[in-house]
Amino acid sequence: KQEVTQIPAALSVPEGENLVLNCSFTDSAIYNLQWFRQDPGKGLTSLLLIQSSQREQTSGRLNASLDKSSGRSTLYIAASQPGDSATYLCAVTNTNAGKSTFGDGTTLTVKP
């Protein structure tokens, strides 16, 4: 059974800092890994998808890496802004069949 852990549970940083969010998973036979952000009471917004064969993906100020052998992924956010404040969720999918296991998320607060 896949288990996903995200550390830290909460993080508060001043505006402009670079930061790293961590995601670890127990079953390395994954199909893909996806990072999302969720604003309070809202749905999930997809940030980055990393396929099993890839090592990293980049979108703007975001960079996600994947190390299947160690069961880890990191989400790097450069030059953080107050608008980045949200909960960040990591989701691991083991097959193409749309069943993802989510971590509990990291709640990020970026202070002006």
Partner 1 sequence: KAGVTQTPRYLIKTRGQQVTLSCSPISGHRSVSWYQQTPGQGLQFLFEYFSETQRNKGNFPGRFSGRQFSNSRSEMNVSTLELGDSALYLCASSYGGQGRNNEQFFGPGTRLTVL
Binding site for partner 1 (CB under 8 A): 31-32, 34, 36, 41-46, 49, 51, 89, 91, 93, 96-105
User: Which CB, 43 or 60, lies closer to partner 1?
Assistant: 43
Q: How many CB atoms lie within 10 A of CB 69?
A: 6
Smallest gap, in angstroms, from Cβ of residue 16 to partner 1? 30
Q: Which is nearer to partner 1, 80 or 90 (CB)?
A: 90
* Shortest Å distance, C-beta 91 to partner 1: 7
Phi, psi of 42 (to 5 degrees): -115, 175
Coil, helix or strand at residue 8: coil
Measured between alpha carbons, how far is 52 from 41 in angstroms, rounded to an integer?
31
